[in-house]
Structure 1
Amino acid sequence: MSTGDDDILNDFLAEAGELVEQLGTQLMALERDPGDTECLNAVFRAFHTVKGGAGFLQLTPLVELCHAAEDVLNAVRNQRRACDTDVMDAVLQAVDAAQTMMGELAMGSPLTAAAPELLMQLHALLEGGTASLPKAPPPPAAAPAAVAASDTISDDEFEALLDELQGKKPAAAAPQPSAPVAVAPKPAAAPAPALAPKAEVETIRVETQKLDLLMNLVGELVLVRNRLKVAKGDLDEAGARAIGELDFITRSLQNTVAQVRMQPIGKVFARFPKLARDIARQLGKQVNVQLEGEDTELDKNLVEALADPLVHMVRNSVDHGIEAPATRKQAGKPAAGTLLLRASQEGDHIRIDIRDDGAGIDPERLRAKALEKGLIEPETAERLSPAECLQLIFLPGFSTKEEVSDLSGRGVGMDVVSSRIKRLNGHVDLDSKPGEGTSLRIRVPLTLAVLPALIVRCDGRRFALPLAPVSDVFRLDERRVQRREHWDVVDSRGAPLRLVHLDRWLGTEPLIGARHVVVAQVGDERYGFVVREVVGREEIVIKPLGASLRGLAGVSGATVMPDGRIALILDFNGLVAAARALRFEDAAHG
């Protein structure tokens, strides 16, 4: 295959792949409102566009699949076939098969033809379906360029399709006799008011590796900038001014590159309505998926990294959380469960909520199951609060499912979720009420490259604490410290504040003399982290940990300080977990 052919294939994979990804969400919307003609036409055009590109590239299995689905959708558009469950099931299976083929194309593998049973099912829908849709407006005239009359497509037409998909304005061209387009007569009407032309945005496709390299270079530039700022006091006025200008330009460049790498989380959310529907039908359940905040943007690497953990959570919500219709009715609930996925930005972090109105989780059952599996000691289990019992679900090997199935019961899901979120310098928390439902909250940074941090010192070493959760810093007064339930507690702004001692986590001699407390939000609670001193604020570049430190509780990464030395980046959630473990040890020893 020539370079030109490679470019055409890559364009097809990018544009057609995006259309196929969107089909799941569009079909879910169409299932909720079968009379939505605009959505129906969008689904039809997507299949036709993919078919046209596949025909140009001579991808016969994909052409046959899209053509069969297109015929069914056209029958629905012409009201020769009702948009019922049989149609939705078959077309959604066609989407699954198309996604499989797109994956094979991306891997350079030969295409696997769609199952003959699926093609037969699609053809049978045309032959046996005569019911008409409830009153719906007639479909509009076929859209030019997106819906052509023939099953083949010329070189020029394919290029025009790609231009249209990329948002480029097609050049004027003479009409092609081989592909006539029906033109509906215009009814007489008063002239509409002129609309201001919509500003066109020019785009260019860039390889993600180049963006990654650019972000890495910006990170190195930030490190050099930090070193120069330390030396700023030794320079004359002109040199200090130049460093100030460099600081401004570096910040602007850093923000611009970060924006280029941003992608809407809707790219991940789009797959979940169909995924939840498939799982629910397999289990004989009903579920409605609600999406909020799909336009919330975060770093592209985070978008990709969050995909698998979110799939685990959605599967668990439908499998474990949402009850069967009969059970829900007995409990006074609607037969169909509700699953909400919401994304929002909080400072320099993204919060994602996954909430269901299912059966909820019984903390006592989790406590008993953890004891049964030997995951915790009896003494520890006795002292766990209901909220702490809920966090047991994230322990490795924990599962409350008695039977093993394709969906759950293997003791992995939530442990995988927790570990992957922590690798993203994020945190996942769970809240649940029996009979009312379960809510999972994820917080991850907007970007993985550069992090605003608070530099602190303890035991002669410097550490970096993520700045976003920090709300206060104060000097510790020993006379105000009290001991409650094996925690050191101090009153802060009228509320008790549990203290986490960094020296105990390090295993060094207790700090004596002046100490400072860094107050940070961890989940739904505030904690005070006791350090020797607070050095100041710094923008740091996150570096991966070596094998010896990877997985160490309380450490999420490392950074290079302006003097060239290494400082560990600490994880508030890990520090709190370590403090809880030390608390249980203290309790066990009386």
Structure 2
Amino acid sequence: MERYTDLFVSELSEYVKQLNNHLLRLEKESKDKKSIIELFRIFHTIKGMSQTMGYATLAEMSHTAENLLEHAKKRGMIEEHVLDALFTVTEIFDRSATALKSGRALPSAKNIITMLENLQRGKAPSYVSIPETKKGISDIRIKLEKLDTLFNLTNELMIIRARINKISQMVGDPQLQNLSDTAARLISELQDEVTKLRMLPLSTVFDLFPRWFRDEAKRLKKDAELTISGAEIEVDRSIIETLREPLIHLIRNALDHGIDTKSGTAGHKGEVKLTAVREKDRIHISVRDNGRGLDPELIRRTAVRRKIITVEESRRMTDENLFRLTVHPDFSTRKQVTTLSGRGIGLNIVQLAIAKLGGRLQISSKKDNFSCFTLEVPVSLATVRAMIIRLNGQRFALPLSYIQETLYVSEASLRAVFHRELFPLRKELIPVVRLSARLGCQQSEGRKTLIVVQYGGKKRGFLADAIIDEDEIVVKSMGRLFTNPAYSGCSIYADGLPILILDPRGLE
């Protein structure tokens, strides 16, 4: 019976997604006959499935929903209060699937059925509230606790693999080297397979938002819609879990702070766009609205009033720097606290969560035009191919995904323009960053290696003493207490000593 329950839960979850999609479509166009017919078909299918499995409550709800849709089919349109009722039924289906998956009892639906029957009789709608439950991810083929243990053990094997390879090279025994190469290949294959098990599409979290956004916009009487793109991109499961709360904060901000159009009023429709784009081993997830935008002068006055900055500091700050102040834990331009915002902690929570992933929060805006908050996070927290460089005897790792090319340069080839060093790379001049100065290392003499990196549309030349090696390293977090933007994490090198991983975006 358990096998059939799993199949029922899987199919019910898929039908819930389809129901939400058709209901959202009908909310925009109430005379969409195709969606009405599809809803009728889905509810009829769920009724049959539920009867077969003995879930009488779910079957009864489906049957009553069918009756409501029968009237809608005859009228050629669906009324708003019927639509709201069907959204409620869909939510009960969703929570029933979650309950069955975790072995819990089905949620009570007696009041929901009564509401549907009253609607069927033509009585005025009287909606009931559904207790909020936090959705999460509980299974991916195997229990997550076991998968995490396997993942951590595999990462330790990756570190040992590098050390074995180093020792075999030092010994110089061909048989030992051959055995080391075979072990390295097998460990790499194991690590790849374990990483694949942890990968999930962003739709795992993105699919939660359309229905939630619709309910919040309706409650706030905001005329706005949410569009999503890039949900098919796959990222590490631990990143998926961390993204949920930051994205909720950002979308809430867009609704509460950004969008100011009211339902039923003239003017442009509020739009919130949730977009994901992959750039090499990084994911850029942006929440953009076409609302009132950020007001630099209001931010400046608020930051001074709350003693986050001084008056003198505020006068020297660019708009971009002022926008960064909105992530301060004490910053809020709201005079009143609402259930959505106003406490001044939302963006700070977002930044802390993203920093924990080795990511960044970027803010851009234009007053009375738009606001855009972009989360840049890694695809995976497991391993990264990196170039190992030397700076005055110290070693650092620089992810290969940022590196365009490397070349030897002399001090004479560098040009000073307006207190900044530039290097002529073919037909362009690129800014030079002396890593020794940026990282607090003593500068050594002699020929240098210029590492040309590119990120966020920018190209820079990093000066290092030498390139030591290229290797795949295991990324480890340095915790919240270590917040230097020049580093994205650390690793254990082949000789067993720690090595810091550089973040090019924090080295300017």
Q: Which residue is 1:497 aligned to?
A: 431
TM-score of the two chains, using structure 2 as the length reference: 0.81
Aligned partner (choices 238, 243, 261) of residue 306 of structure 1 = 243
Shift of residue 238 of structure 1? 4.6
Find the aligned partners of 1:432 and 1:546 in 2 and give their Cα distance: 30
Is 1:343 aligned with 2:276? yes
Q: Which residue is 1:446 aligned to?
A: 379
Deviations 1:435-463 (A, max 9, x none): 22122222222111112223234464433
Deviations 1:495-536 (A, max 9, x none): 452637555555x66666665555544545455555554433
Distance 1:441 1:12, change over 3 A: same
Unaligned ranges ≥5, structure 1: 130-203, 577-590
Distance 1:469 1:62, change over 3 A: farther
Shift of residue 32 of structure 1? 3.2
Distance 1:83 1:327, change over 3 A: closer
Q: Which residue is 2:16 aligned to?
A: 20
Q: Which residue is 2:108 aligned to?
A: 113
Shift of residue 10 of structure 1? 5.6
Deviations 1:399-435 (A, max 9, x none): 2222211111111221111221121122221211122
Deviations 1:190-211 (A, max 9, x none): xxxxxxxxxxxxxx94333343
Find the aligned partners of 2:310 and 2:52 in 1 and give their Cα distance: 64
Find the aligned partners of 1:211 and 1:518 in 2 and give their Cα distance: 37
Is 1:31 aligned with 2:27? yes
Unaligned ranges ≥5, structure 2: 124-139
Is 1:567 aligned with 2:503? no
Q: Which residue is 1:295 aligned to?
A: 232
53-62 or 285-294, larger mean C-alpha shift:
53-62
Find the aligned partners of 1:40 and 1:258 in 2 and give their Cα distance: 42
Q: Does the 8 A contact of 1:474 with 1:517 survive in 2?
A: yes
Q: Between Structure 1 and Structure 2, which shows a larger proportion of strand residues?
A: 2
Find the aligned partners of 2:177 and 2:87 in 1 and give their Cα distance: 63
Q: Find the residue that maps to 2:74 and give its secondary structure.
A: coil
Q: Does the 8 A contact of 1:454 with 1:538 survive in 2?
A: yes
Find the aligned partners of 2:436 and 2:116 in 1 and give their Cα distance: 64
Q: How does 1:184-333 map to 2 (within 5 A)?
A: 205-233=141-169, 234-325=171-262, 329=266
380-389 or 98-107, larger mean C-alpha shift:
98-107
Deviations 1:233-272 (A, max 9, x none): 3434454444444444444443343333322212222222
Find the aligned partners of 1:314 and 1:254 in 2 and give their Cα distance: 35
Shift of residue 563 of structure 1? 0.9
Find the aligned partners of 2:56 and 2:343 in 1 and give their Cα distance: 39
Find the aligned partners of 2:265 and 2:506 in 1 and give their Cα distance: 38
Identity across aligned pairs (percent)? Answer: 31
Aligned partner (choices 456, 469, 472) of residue 539 of structure 1 = 472
Q: Does the 8 A contact of 1:215 with 1:257 survive in 2?
A: yes
Aligned partner (choices 118, 128, 144) of residue 124 of structure 1 = 118
Find the aligned partners of 1:308 and 1:355 in 2 and give their Cα distance: 17
Distance 1:412 1:45, change over 3 A: farther
Q: Residue type of the partner of 1:559?
A: S
Shift of residue 370 of structure 1? 1.8
Is 1:403 aligned with 2:399? no
Shift of residue 90 of structure 1? 1.8
Q: Residue type of the partner of 2:25?
A: A
490-499 or 287-296, larger mean C-alpha shift:
490-499
Q: Residue type of the partner of 1:91?
A: L
Find the aligned partners of 1:351 and 1:442 in 2 and give their Cα distance: 6
Find the aligned partners of 2:476 and 2:49 in 1 and give their Cα distance: 42
Shift of residue 553 of structure 1? 4.8
Distance 1:124 1:366, change over 3 A: same
Find the aligned partners of 1:367 and 1:535 in 2 and give their Cα distance: 47
Q: Does the 8 A contact of 1:62 with 1:113 survive in 2?
A: no
Q: Which residue is 1:557 aligned to?
A: 489
Find the aligned partners of 1:523 and 1:107 in 2 and give their Cα distance: 43
Q: Residue type of the partner of 2:377?
A: V
Distance 1:31 1:515, change over 3 A: same
Q: Does the 8 A contact of 1:427 with 1:573 survive in 2?
A: no
Q: How does 1:66-105 map to 2 (within 5 A)?
A: 66-76=62-72, 78-79=73-74, 82-100=77-95
Shift of residue 98 of structure 1? 4.2
Q: Does the 8 A contact of 1:429 with 1:523 survive in 2?
A: no
Q: Which residue is 1:183 aligned to?
A: none
Aligned-residue CA RMSD in angstroms? Answer: 3.7
Q: Does the 8 A contact of 1:452 with 1:537 survive in 2?
A: yes
Shift of residue 565 of structure 1? 1.4
Find the aligned partners of 1:10 and 1:374 in 2 and give their Cα distance: 56
